Structure 1
């Protein structure tokens, strides 16, 4: 069970007088009656449903679920004032800040097995030879600057000793089957693909000479983030604190129940074939939910510095993107869930 009292620290009454919270205030632990949190996190929503009493998701506030996922859609909803928290990869919070949106990352999860189970690989169009990252040279590469797929392209070029001048970056949104379609149509030579998109692409075009190569770089960051006004609101912050704890527990529960997740989520809910679902289970994350976000912030700073240089953006202080008060809440809840499951 998730320990919702984890990591609260300080006075439970801090900020409950209606004043805006600051980073120096302890997170409130009492959620006022009538509080609603609008959440764009469909995967965790399903995890709560399947876990039942295994996860304490009987919140003391109303959750309004929004069927929103991915950086662009989440950021758009934040701008519209129609979402309080969303689940995204590493880049959206950085990109949102560059576009004038004030946001805070409140929790993070990584993959302990990131070397063996990366999120993305570089897939080549039929006939494109890919043995290592240096083979990116001279090719047209699908590129989305505001998404995680764009960041891994830039990291790969850097790791290979290449620059943008050594390749042609073709800006395409990393949504749906856009990259797969572009590869199949010969519009790009290489694209970062992950999950069932990679599996299906290689299954369909491998006989024609399509291949992929692992990049051996970290691409595993995933965050919960919110508009800053949410974490400054005492009622919303208290509700978010509860949600963060349950979210962290859900990450562990999913990893500990692969058979249920495969059948009930991948097959029944998402409509995947048994083969596709098994591929995802075989390449699933071993979750690492840190309490201390200092290493996360350092990694994010490296990403900011790289993107700022390559995309001609101002350098940000990555620490300003994080509300570190939520870190212990997430980390301790994940540890409690893992201990309860015997992990």
Structure 2
């Protein structure tokens, strides 16, 4: 089972959600069967409650927010992303969709929250531009995956970082019994802090925090994992995609979100400033470095490969974490696959990167 945010984070989340929903309760649209075609017209009064901070920054600086406004869509943005926060918000019915890797959709299913993935993107060169590296605490002797034996590794079962750790152990020929997994939810720079305090020896560190970690703690370093990161997704409450108004609005938003990532690929400096510098508080140099580390986001021509990888991950977590077997096709709304591909046009990615 995943660990949820502590009381301080929960209180912050409650404040964010109260702000995001201050406009009041939206009148629900007619029920739309999951097998029905997505509406071509957005009904009046459509509202989306989105935890998608990076895209929020990109659509603002790129001017793509005008497409949402022109379609008559009201977006209530929440400063929420990642599994623990989004699942908590879903359970409180305070959020429609959130940006996550693909692990949270599995944990939502395993913990009784019905969601659908409506967007898939990947790093174009995933092994050349890994989002995560393994942070190694100062004074700890880890220079290769083989050195992980016996080490204390930060681990969050319901987040992408947790699945990454399991895949890294698998690649290294190690089992959970060969290391000490320390349950620790990854929020903000919590893994950086844990490494600096030597509460753990190793932790997955995202691109945003790698330079911070190495600069803040003398002797700190990062090493590559040798495994590819999870896909980047947008997942939504099933009740949202079953609502005619929201489904119609999501069709527009998925297209806009696709254009936003492609815009960011072509305008890395502007993207770095709008999100990592202006929103996350990184310096100009560090913001640009993070965007370079991340690499370009690719929009897949089809979701076939992403579905196969998600099923493999679900099978791994089912075995390693003792969950029920799960057919991941039940978690994916492929009606949005063509919406996304059409919006990308000739910029879709083909091959294994998809």
TM-score where L is the length of structure 2: 0.86
What is the Cα deviation at residue 160 of structure 1?
0.8
Instruction: Give 3-state SS (helix, strand or coil) of 2:67's partner.
Output: coil
Q: 2:245 — aligned with what?
A: 235
User: 2:203 — aligned with what?
Assistant: 191
* Residues 134-173 of structure 1: pairs in structure 2 closer than 5 A: 134-173=146-185
Q: Which SS does the other structure have where 1:269 is aligned? A: coil
1:19-30 correspondence to structure 2 within 5 Å: 19-23=31-35, 25-30=36-41
Q: Given that residues 136 and 202 in structure 2 are in contact (C-alpha distance below 8 angstroms), is that contact kept between their aligned partners in structure 1?
A: yes
Out of 56, 59, 71, which is 1:45 matched to? 56
The TM-score, its normalising length taken from structure 1, stands at: 0.88
> Are the aligned partners of 1:118 and 1:220 in contact in 2 as well (CA < 8 Å)?
no
Asked if 1 retains the 8 angstrom alpha-carbon contact of 2:133 and 2:205, the reply is yes
Residue 105 to residue 182, structure 1, CA distance change in 2 (3 Å): same
* Deviation for aligned residue 1:53: 5.5
The reply to whether residue 304 of structure 1 matches residue 300 of structure 2 is no
Aligned pairs for 1:4-43 within 5 A: 18-23=30-35, 25-43=36-54
- Deviation per CA, 1:257-308: give whole Å up to 9, x if none: 0121223332233321122112113213211112421211110000000011
User: Mean Cα displacement is larger for which, 283-292 or 239-248?
Assistant: 283-292
Distance, in Å, in 2 between the alignment partners of 1:220 and 1:119 is 9
Separation in structure 2 between the aligned mates of residue 54 and residue 337 of structure 1, nearest angstrom: 21
Q: Is the 8 A contact 1:48 1:57 kept in 2?
A: no
- Give the aligned partner of residue 105 of structure 2: 93
The reply to whether residue 289 of structure 1 matches residue 296 of structure 2 is no
Cα deviation, residue 71, structure 1: 1.4
8 A Cα contact 1:141 1:170, kept in partner:
yes
Cα distance between partner residues in 1 of 2:222 and 2:294? 19
Q: What whole-Å deviation, never above 9, does each CA across 1:16-47 have from its counterpart, x for those lacking one?
A: x9343122x21111121122111111211111
Query: 1:323 corresponds to which residue?
Result: 333
Length, aligned pairs only: 319
Structure 2 gaps of 5+ residues are 1-28, 349-354
- Identify the residue that residue 279 of structure 1 maps to in structure 2: 289
Which aligned pairs between 1:46-85 and structure 2 lie closer than 5 A? 46-52=57-63, 56-58=67-69, 59-85=71-97
Q: CA offsets per residue over residues 182-212 of structure 1, 9 Å max, x none?
A: 111111111111123111111233x43x222
Distance 2:333 2:245 in 1: 16
Rate the CA distance shift 1:220–1:255 in 2: closer, same or farther, 3 A: farther
Q: Secondary structure at the match of 1:56?
A: helix
The match for 2:279 is 269
User: How many angstroms does 1:336 deviate by?
Assistant: 6.1
Retained in 1: the 8 A contact 2:64–2:256?
no
Partner of 1:128: 140
More displaced, 211-220 or 237-246? 211-220
Question: How much is the aligned-residue C-alpha RMSD, in angstroms?
Answer: 1.8
* Structure-2 residue corresponding to 1:6: none
Task: Return the alpha-carbon distance in structure 1 between the equivalents of residues 45 and 196 of structure 2.
Answer: 51
